[in-house]
Chain A
Amino acid sequence: MAVAEAVASSPAPRRRRLQPSLAAGLVMLAVLVVVAVAAGRIAPYPPLAQSFSQALLPPSAQHLLGTDNYGRDVFSRVLAATRIDLEIGLLGTLFPFLLGSALGAIAGYAGGLADALIMRVVDVIIAFPFLVLVIAFVAFVGGGTANVVVALTIGGWVGFARLVRGEILVQRQMEYADATRLLGYSRSRILFRHLLPNAIPPALVFAVSSITLNILTAAALGFLGLGVSPPTPEWGLMMSEGETFLFQAWWIATMPGLACLFAGLTFTLLGDGASDLLRVRGQ
């Protein structure tokens, strides 16, 4: 009976999923980076080159993913857009990681007023739906890559802050922190040499997973017309432009989404692989 079987299967000996997901993720990451950097050289057509005679063509040998309403090659545009979305995704994670980890460490280690203050700010930011906060910021400040990254930072640092703060709090309980205090180490030395190195790895894993979210958010902003402006190729923007032509030329709206999925999957696999590694190391 399935209930009986499910009830008592003892924790299965840890199967080696380390290799496949991490390996696949790394390969995909390599592909992304190469495309992002060398899109200009790889792409068969210039992404901005218009040609009205070639408009709305379905995927073919000449145009792998078809053309859009301006006759631009969709494949080339998808490749060119990789750089922008990847940039936003990575920067939009790097800054929250730095800012959030720093504030989280301070809150966790210093405690008291600093902790209370920082956590209040965290509570407020969490109260806003992430996308709404980002959209609101961009709405009032303006679009463009830089503003989007700032918006992602404002919304994204809180996750890291809570994580690092939590880790620091746990580490503080542990004996070796007391031991180093007894030895008379200065507080900052304790923080940087001992507590942080243990708190950072989970934050790194969280960062990798966040990249997926930020890429998707960047695409969402582009879709809503709040990111970069046309005619710059950006996945979300392309999908938005393509929606009008969903009936006659479905490939315009759907192909960039595959690229998005590819990028999202890359970092999710990397994140899974990284967290597996972390667990095996006896965390």
Chain B
Amino acid sequence: MNPLRAAARDPVLTVADLSVEIPTPRGVVRAVRHVSIEVRPGETFALVGESGSGKTMTCRAILRLVPAPGRITGGSVIYGGDDLVTLPESAIDRIRGTGISMIFQDPMTALHPMLTVEQQICETWGRGLPRQQARERATELLRQVGLADAQRRLRDYPHQLSGGQRQRVMIAIALARGPDLLIADEPTTALDVTIQAQILRLLKDLQQRLGMALLLVTHDLGVVADIADRVAVMYGGQVVESGPAASLLRAPRHPYTVGLLRSMPPISATRQPLEPIEGMPPDLAALPAGCPFAPRCQWATDDCRAGEIPVVAVGPDHMSRCRLADAMEVRKDGEAHGLHLIR
């Protein structure tokens, strides 16, 4: 879909300043810190980060599925004119599945082992739909997600299907009531590489056909390059950079994003040495003041460690949470990205 046309309409989902905290014996884990993202109708928005960056918790918070004792401590999630953070539970229940839907990482554990595929699809429609009609709709759904022999599959149990088939079933269930937004939490991580590509194609395909927005959580920049329209990069519970996928990947404006790009094998065949990012992800229970990436950043200054880093606009629709964002220039030395500081 044309990104310009998408931008013209109101966003489907606006997350503003969202924070999630989880009390643990070790201390309060600040899993999500003042996260703001905006998903526009019909677009694919990727949420990228390592494990522990807060991306999964952000998605759960959107649907108010944060597991206790964690809770949302601030911010808002605007959908359909309502703030999902303050809505009563019954109202959220109505939105789950119909307005916003979510699929999980491992379909083997997300599907109930003792219920058939048909049961798990049809129960989303409840009593309202008569048996035969429900079965037909379910069969149609399975065909839409690319499952061969759909009618036979209805009677199967999850353990009788392959990983890719299970993922398709989960997608079918999530789409059963025609949501405006589908949140996909690492939908391909548990799958074989060859199947991954198929599922991604399927998601993109469905999204375009149904005019649905897709919020895709992943740690794989390759996936982002493949199907995302816009991206947000998360680190230490914060969004450190966000913007259109193409420009962000071509000219990143945050040291962490650059590090990510450099540590991943490039899609082209030329061999480059992989450069891992030195150091370890931060302990979310004991975050240092200032930028969470500072301990690992080679350009960090005292300013970076001082206080909350403000968001800086670095291009049309492109922002970065870095004090040096404006002072950076990314030039390509051959195939690698070199981050050069311009004083």
The complex places the Cα of A1 from the Cα of B65 at a distance, in Å, of 10
CB pair A13–B25 under 8 Å, yes or no, is: yes
Q: In the complex, are the beta carbons of A8 and B25 less than 8 A apart?
A: no
Please pick, from A4, A7, A10, the residue contacting B24 in the complex, using a CB distance under 8 A.
Answer: A10
Complex interface: stretch among B38-46, B66-74, B192-200, B330-338? B66-74
Q: Are B89 and A1 in contact (CB under 8 A)?
A: yes
Question: Is A5 part of the contact surface with B, judged by Cβ < 8 Å?
Answer: yes
Contacts of B68 in A (CB 8 A): 4-5, 7-9
Query: Are A8 and B67 interface neighbours, CB within 8 A?
Result: yes
B24 cross-chain contacts in A, Cβ below 8 A: 10
Chain B, 47-81, CB within 8 A of any chain A CB: 65, 67-70
- The answer to whether B89 and A8 have CB atoms under 8 Å apart is no
Residues of chain B within 8 A of A7, CB atoms compared:
67-68
Contacting residues, chain B, for A5 (C-beta < 8 A): 68-69
Residues on B with beta carbons closer than 8 Å to the beta carbon of A8: 67-70
Q: Mark A171-199, 1 if CB is under 8 A from B, else 0.
A: 00000000000000000000000000000
Interface class of chain B by DSSP? loop
Residue of B65, B68, B89 with most partner-chain A CB within 10 A: B68
- CB closest chain-A residue, reference B69: A9
**CB nearest to A10 among chain B residues:** B24
**Shortest beta-carbon distance, B70 to chain A, in Å?**
7
Q: Could you give, for residues 1-43 of chain B, a 1 whenever the CB lies within 8 Å of some chain A CB and a 0 otherwise? A: 0000000000000000000000011000000000000000000
CB nearest to A7 among chain B residues: B67
Question: Shortest Cβ distance from B97 into chain A, in angstroms?
Answer: 16
A37 shortest CB reach to chain B, Å: 47
Give A94 to B280 CA distance when docked, in angstroms. 56
Cβ of B70: which chain A residues have Cβ within 8 Å of it? Answer: 8
Q: Which residues of A contact B25 (CB under 8 A)?
A: 13
Measured CA separation A11–B292 after assembly (Å): 29
Residue of B nearest to A1 (CB): B89
Closest approach, in angstroms, between the C-beta of B203 and any C-beta of chain A?
A: 27
The digit string for A1-39, where 1 denotes a CB below 8 A from any CB of B, is 100110111100100000000000000000000000000
Query: What is the bound-complex CA distance between A10 and B24, given in angstroms?
Result: 9
Complex formed: what's the CA distance from A10 to B23 in Å? 11
Name B70's closest neighbour in chain A (CB-CB): A8
Bound-complex Cα distance A10 to B69 (A): 8
B15 to chain A, nearest CB (A): 20
CA distance A158 to B25 in the complex (A): 43
* Chain A nearest CB, measured from B309 CB (Å): 31
Complex: how many Å from CA A7 to CA B70? 12
Q: CA A5 – CA B24 in complex, angstroms?
A: 14
A13, closest chain B residue (CB): B25
CB distance from B219 to the nearest CB of A (A): 23
Q: Which residue of B lies closest to A12 (CB)?
A: B25
**Which of chain B's residues have a CB closer than 8 A to the CB of A4?**
65, 67-68
Instruction: State the CA gap A9–B25 with chains docked (Å).
Output: 12
Nearest Cβ in chain A — how far from B20, in angstroms?
13
Give min CB distance, A7 to chain B, whole Å. Answer: 6
Interface residues in B284-329 by Cβ distance below 8 A to A read none
**Which of chain B's residues has its CB closest to A6's CB?**
B68
**Please, how many angstroms separate the alpha-carbon atoms of A9 and B24 in the complex?**
10
Cα distance A10–B67 in the bound complex, in angstroms? 9
What residues of A have a CB within 8 angstroms of the CB of B65 in the complex? 4
Chain B residues lying within 8 Å of A10, measured Cβ to Cβ, are: 24, 69
Q: Nearest Cβ distance between residue B218 and chain A, in whole angstroms?
A: 24
Nearest chain A CB to B86 CB, angstrom units: 16
Provide the bound-state CA to CA distance between A1 and B93, in Å.
Answer: 12
Q: Measured between alpha carbons, how far is A46 from B190 in the docked complex, in Å?
A: 76
Instruction: Report the bound CA distance from A1 to B24 in whole Å.
Output: 20
CA–CA, A18 and B189, complex, Å: 43
* Nearest 3 Cβ contacts at the A-B interface: A8-B67, A5-B68, A8-B68
Chain B: residues with CB nearer than 8 A to chain A?
Answer: 24-25, 65, 67-70, 89
> 10 more A-B contacts (CB under 8 A) besides A4-B67, A7-B68?
A1-B89, A4-B65, A4-B68, A5-B68, A5-B69, A7-B67, A8-B68, A8-B70, A9-B69, A13-B25
A-B contact pairs, 11 of them (CB 8 A): A1-B89, A4-B68, A5-B68, A7-B68, A8-B67, A8-B68, A8-B69, A8-B70, A9-B68, A10-B69, A13-B25
Binding site for B on A (CB under 8 A): 1, 4-5, 7-10, 13
